[in-house]
A and B are shown apart, each in its own frame.
Chain A
């Protein structure tokens, strides 16, 4: 069974630009979550989508947005990039069960200059 696939793996942007990251979940998983990981803040929840609907959202500014397509693939977008947005962005998929076990991709490493 193929795992969670994230693209691109690495990218460099400059302040003010915008970026779109893509995530393909494990086949059969309808829930996709996004996390930001930084050395200072650790892993922080951005949002979760299930059947194309955002069910849950973390405490991030509106510059961070996402969507999910009918095939469960998901994208997240960050507009007007700031230096502090440099991070590893992780996508995770799940069946959405009671214990919420997540299967993570390898992440997209974003560097903002």
Chain B
């Protein structure tokens, strides 16, 4: 059983559509991060959410941390081909919420946006 369950696994949409990706768990976390990874590249940090109920916006991307800090969502408005990539959620696991470099990742959502 994965600590972080991401859904959907695959998403193929047309340019201009909206979409939401989910990251769920039964555990409570001190913080949660979202990364995007493009083919041939390493993951790039998009956002960190820390407070339950927190909403952060990054241009057309909206991130929300669940009230109970067990889940998170990523909503993309008017998707563009440049949004194509693997979206990963991750949480730090370590004493006191510090990760010492150790993040546990979800399996990811592969998003393809067609022109």
Residues on A close to B: CB < 8 A? 4, 31-33, 42-43, 45, 47-50, 55-56, 58, 90, 92, 94, 96, 98-107
Q: Which positions 37-63 of chain B face chain A at CB distance < 8 Å?
A: 40-45, 48, 50
Residue B7 is within 8 A (CB to CB) of chain A in the complex: no
**A31, closest chain B residue (CB):** B101
Query: How far is A79 from B35 in the complex, measured between Cα atoms in Å?
Result: 30
Chain A to chain B contacts (Cβ below 8 Å), 15 pairs: A33-B101, A33-B102, A43-B43, A43-B103, A48-B100, A92-B42, A96-B98, A96-B100, A98-B31, A98-B98, A99-B48, A99-B50, A104-B42, A106-B41, A107-B41
Chain B at the A interface: SS class: loop
Residues on B close to A: CB < 8 A? 30-31, 33, 35, 40-45, 48, 50, 88, 90, 92, 94, 97-108
